[in-house]
Amino acid sequence: MGGLIEALERVGGRLLKALDRRCWRVGESVEHADEVPERIGRRRAVLVGTRTHAKWLVFDCPCEERHRVMLNLDIARAPRWIVSPSELLTISPSVDAPSGSGRCHYFIRAGRVQWVK
């Protein structure tokens, strides 16, 4: 019975890792916007500034075009978005970004993209 439990735990661990890769999160942080890497990993965002004084959140749009999105997090500027301090990315309010084929309008909540129709 112990071998079966260990096997289930291994399978469960692999499943959790696979699900974890499907969630959006802040992958790294940099001090200045010009330090944002040209390539950002899938479902990853880069925080510009520090956790105590965040300036921007930069990521590639979840649409098929994957155009770059920069959201202002600085309290002194408007419009401004808020990023939750949890490990899984939550952005408020929604992201409404123009793209080459129209516009992309979505929420990212608890690491998941929710498209607005």
What are the tens digits of pLDDT across the range 100-117?
778 899 999 999 999 998
Query: Residue by residue, what is the 3-state secondary structure of the chain?
Result: CHHHHHHHHHHHHHHHHHHHHCCCEEEEEECCHHHCCCCCCCCEEEEEECCCCEEEEEEECCCCCCCEEEEECCCCCCCCCEECCCCCCCEEEEEEEEECCEEEEEEEECCEEEECC
Of 26, 65, 30, give the one whose Cα is nearest residue 43: 26
Q: What does pTM read for this prediction? A: 0.79
What are the tens digits of pLDDT across the range 35-66?
999 999 999 999 999 878 999 999 999 998 99
Q: Whole-angstrom Cα distance, residue 48 to residue 66?
A: 19
Partnered with residue 28 across adjacent β-strands are 46
Q: What pLDDT is stored for residue 108 in this prediction?
A: 97
